[in-house]
Amino acid sequence: MAVLRITKYPEKVLKTKSKKVEGWSDELSKLVEDMFETMYAVSGVGLAANQIGIPLRLAVIDVRPGGQSRRLVLINPKLTALEGKQEEPEGCLSLPGIYKRLGRAAKARVLCYDQKGMPWEIRGTGLLARALQHEIDHLDGKLFVDRLSIMQKVNVQKEIKRYQTIWERQVTTRPALVAD
């Protein structure tokens, strides 16, 4: 397993709609394990494949702390139902240091496949519902800041400019499966 380089805004792959995963392989299983290791290394709760430079419809989520881990693998996920409202601070591993209050559905239902190719449904509330929506947004080429109001976007752009010099200095490894 390996900790992979996380793409940072404004890298193009973050704004690109991800391609459907076709077939399941040992290589895909290794990628899933590397994604979990990367996510845990930076204390994240979710990671989409395009956040490591790979534009595939694949994401991993674990919203439970430490020993209570519940690893969720989402391959070709599709949101099928959203209910209610919640407004909480949200951040992103591709925009480190940026946190903004954002409205999302309080409940989410997703149809997807696991890493063995078996279809399954995830129903989430609270943080899990938020993480499901956030990661599927990534797979659709959207960042959480794209959902902010115009005024919030103006302010967040100023914050992003301040952080970009820090992000550019970060040195990490590149994934073996980078697709440009």
Q: How far are the Cα atoms of 7, 37, 49, 92 from residue 21, in angstroms, in the given order?
A: 20, 21, 11, 23
27 labelled catalytic: no
DSSP code, position 19: B
Which has the closest alpha carbon to 88: 70, 76, 104, 75?
Answer: 104
Catalytic one among 87, 88, 135, 159?
A: 135
DSSP 50-105: GGGT--BSEEEE--S-GGG---EEEEEEEEEEEES-EEEEE--TTSTT--EEEEE-
Question: Which active-site residues does the annotation give?
Answer: 135
